[in-house]
Amino acid sequence: MEGVERIEQRTQTLTHWKTRIAGVEREFDAEITEQVPDERVAWTSVGGEAKQAGVVTFHYIDDTTTKIMLQLDHDPEGLAETVGDKLGFVKRQATGDLKRFKQFIEARGTETGSWRGTV
C-alpha cells in the first residue's frame, strides 16, 4: 500500500501506523475495536497526530474473489490537508491502496500468519 509506510502490531488490539499521503506524514496508534476474521476489522486512532476511525469489510464472492469495502472517517489538519481532502487525494490514495491490497491477498491464496483472533 503506497500510502502506508509501516504498520506494527504491538498487541492483539493495538497497532502503530506510519503513513504518507500527498507528501504529508502521520504517525499514530490505532486500537482495533472489532475484528471478525475474513469479515471485518474496525479501528479508531488513539493519541498521535491523526484523528480517524474506520471499518473494512470483506465480502466473499467466490473462492478466488473478495469484495473489499472501506468506511473511513478522518479529520484533515490545516489548510493543505483540507484542500487535498476536498480535491479527493485521500479517497484516491485509499482506493488505490485497497486495490493493491486485494490483489496481494488474492494472489497469496492464504492468510499471512498474523494474529487472526476475534475482538
Listed in sequence order, the residues at least 6 apart from 107 whose beta carbon sits closer than 8 Å to its beta carbon are none
Instruction: Give the per-residue pLDDT at 43.
Output: 93
> What is the overall mean pLDDT for the chain?
83
**Do residues 70 and 58 make contact, with C-beta atoms less than 8 angstroms apart?**
no
Q: What is the pLDDT of residues 47-97, one digit of tens each?
A: 766 688 999 998 989 887 888 888 988 777 778 778 877 888 878 888 888
Q: What is the structure's pLDDT at 97?
A: 82
Average pLDDT on 15-36 reads 86
Looking at residue 44, what is its pLDDT? 93
Structural fold of domain 4-108? Alpha-D-Glucose-1,6-Bisphosphate; Chain A, domain 4 (3.30.530)
pTM of the model: 0.74
Provide the pLDDT for residue 55. Answer: 94
The whole-number pLDDT of residue 76 equals: 77
Quickly count: other Cβ atoms within 10 Å of residue 88's Cβ: 10
Map out the domains of the chain as residue ranges: 4-108
pLDDT at 75: 78
Give the C-alpha separation, 99 to 63, whole Å.
18
Q: How many CB atoms lie within 10 A of CB 90?
A: 20
